[in-house]
Amino acid sequence: MAMKKIILGFTLALTLGSQVFAQNVIIPAPPELAASAYILMDADSGEILVAKNEHEPLPPASLVKLMTSFVAEQELQAGRIHWDETTRVSVRAWRTGGSRMFIQESTNVSIGDLLKGIIIVSGNDASVAMAEHIAGTEEAFAGMMNQVADSIGMRNTNFTNSTGLPDDNLFSTAYDMAILSQAIIQQSPEYYPIYAEQSFTYNDITQNNRNLLLRRNPDVDGLKTGHTSAAGYCLAASALTDGMRLIAVVMGSASDESRTQEVQTLLSYGFRYFKTHQLYEADQSLDDFTVWGGDQGAVTLGIEDKLFVTIPRGSENHLQAVVNVPPVLRAPIAEGEEVGQLVVMNGDEVIAERPVIAMTEVTEAGFFGRLWDSVRLFFWKMFN
C-alpha cells in the first residue's frame, strides 16, 4: 500500500538556535589507536562515532564489575536489598585475590560500602561478597549477570564471575561494555555519581580510583578500569560537555597511561567534530491525521520515546522529519498502536527511524456514522 508522507520540515536555524551552518562539512578520519578494540558511542542517541574490533570477544578484566555494580543497583532500586543493610563476609570473599577493599572474614559490611568498594577501588573481595549476598553464590550471581546482559542487548558477552579474574569462558566486547555503560548512566542515575568519586576509605585504608581521567579531565565522571595480563589495560569512561554525553571504551591497551590517553583521544575527537540534538520528547505529538469510520474524525500521532540524533558539527541546517502513514486510516485504532514511521533525514541520508503510534484511542462509529464516512471516503478517493 502506498504511504502518505507528512513532512515536518525544520532547520536547526529555527528550532535549535540562530546560527546557520554550511552544508558541506569535512570531518577528519577517526583516530587509530593501538588498543585491541575500542569504541566511541553517543550515550543519548546510541550512535557509534568511532569503532575498531568492537564486536570481538576479549577478556574484560575488571570491566566485569560494571555488571556486578549494575545488578546491585537494580536490586537496590527494586527494594530487594537496601543501602544500609549488612552482610557477613565469607571466607571465600575475604580470600579473593587481586585488588581488594580489605573487608575482613566474619565481619559485617553494609551494601553501600560494598558498592563503593566495587566501583571506586575495584575490590574483588567486595564483588564476591555482593554476589553472595544477592544470589547466595557467585556462580548463581553470574547467571543473573548474564540474564541482565541479554536484556540490555549485550550479545557477545559471557560472565562466569563477579570480579573479572581470568577464566577461559569469560569474555565481552567493547561494544557490549559501551551498552552496559549506557545502561548504568540511564537506568541508575541515583548511583551513577559514585563512579566519579576519586577515592574511598574503608577500615582506615584509603585507596584512589584507578581512572586517571577523573583527575585530568573535569568532564569525565566515570566509569571503570580493568587490568589482567591476559586482558591488558582496559577502560570504560564517560564525559559530559555542553549537554552532550559520550562513552568511550578501550580494551587491550599496553599500559595504564596508554589507555588513559587513548580514551581521551576518542572523547576529544567526538566532542570536537560531532553534536547531539534532541529532536523530540517522549510521548510528543507530531500531527493529527484523518480517521474514517470512527467516533472522532482524527487521531493524534506521536512517538513513544525521546529521539536524539548525532550529526557532524556544521551539517545541521537541513534536518527534516517525515511521517509515513497509510493514505487511509480506519477505526478502530487502539491507543499505542503503530500506524506509521517517523524518518529523520540530514540531506539525503536517513539518520533515524522510529515507529509512529496513535496517542489516543479511536473507536468505531455507529452504523450510520460508518455509512456516512464510507460515502465521503468514496468521493475523497475519487479526487485524491
- Report the amino acid identity of residue 203: N
| Residues taking part in catalysis | 62, 65, 122
In this predicted structure, what is the pLDDT of residue 303? 92
Residues ≥6 apart with Cβ < 8 Å to 117: 101, 103, 123, 125, 126, 200, 202
Regarding predicted confidence, which is higher, 20 or 263?
263
Domains, the chain: 4-18+279-383 (2.60.410.10), 49-226 (3.40.710.10)
**Strand 329-330 relative to strand 285-292, pairing:** parallel
- pLDDT tops 70 at residue 263: yes
**Helix, strand, or coil here: 238?**
strand
In this predicted structure, what is the pLDDT of residue 20? 31
Quick: pLDDT tens for 227-258: 999 999 999 999 999 999 999 999 999 999 99
Most confident of 7-16, 75-84, 299-308: 75-84
Task: Work out the percent of the chain whose per-residue pLDDT is above 70.
Answer: 89
- pLDDT tops 60 at residue 9: no
Cβ atoms of 3 and 329 closer than 8 Å: no
Cβ atoms of 225 and 253 closer than 8 Å: no
Place of cell 550512535: 47
Closest CA to 312 of 43, 51, 24: 24
Closest CA to 163 of 107, 92, 73, 251: 92
Regarding predicted confidence, which is higher, 9 or 305?
305
In this predicted structure, what is the pLDDT of residue 72? 98
Classify burial at 196, counting beta carbons within 10 Å of its beta carbon; exposed 0-12, middle 13-18, buried 19 or more.
middle
Q: Please give the sequence-ordered ranges of beta strands (E in DSSP) within 59-98, or none if there are none.
A: 86-88
- pLDDT tops 70 at residue 196: yes
Specify the DSSP class assigned to residue 235: E
Regarding predicted confidence, which is higher, 312 or 193?
193
In this predicted structure, what is the pLDDT of residue 363? 82
In this predicted structure, what is the pLDDT of residue 15? 32
Q: Please give the sequence-ordered ranges of beta strands (E in DSSP) within the chain, or none if there are none.
A: 4-9, 37-42, 48-52, 86-88, 108-110, 199-202, 205-208, 220-228, 232-241, 244-253, 274-280, 285-292, 298-302, 307-312, 319-325, 329-330, 338-346, 349-358
Residues ≥6 apart with Cβ < 8 Å to 301: 285, 286, 287, 288, 289, 323, 325, 339, 340, 356, 357, 358, 359
- Report the amino acid identity of residue 226: G
CA distances from 161 to 52, 177, 338 (A): 26, 16, 41
Q: Residue 84: in which H helix or E strand, if any?
A: none
Closest CA to 162 of 132, 202, 186: 132
Residues ≥6 apart with Cβ < 8 Å to 228: 59, 61, 164, 165, 166
13: pLDDT confidence band, cut at 50, 70 and 90? very low
Residues ≥6 apart with Cβ < 8 Å to 49: 30, 40, 41, 42, 246, 269, 270, 274, 310
Averaged pLDDT for residues 172-180: 98
In this predicted structure, what is the pLDDT of residue 286? 86
Quick: pLDDT tens for 68-118: 999 999 999 999 999 999 999 999 999 999 999 999 999 999 999 999 999
Closest CA to 241 of 266, 223, 218, 262: 218
379/186 Cα distance (integer angstroms): 51
Residues ≥6 apart with Cβ < 8 Å to 120: 194, 197, 198, 199, 200, 207, 209
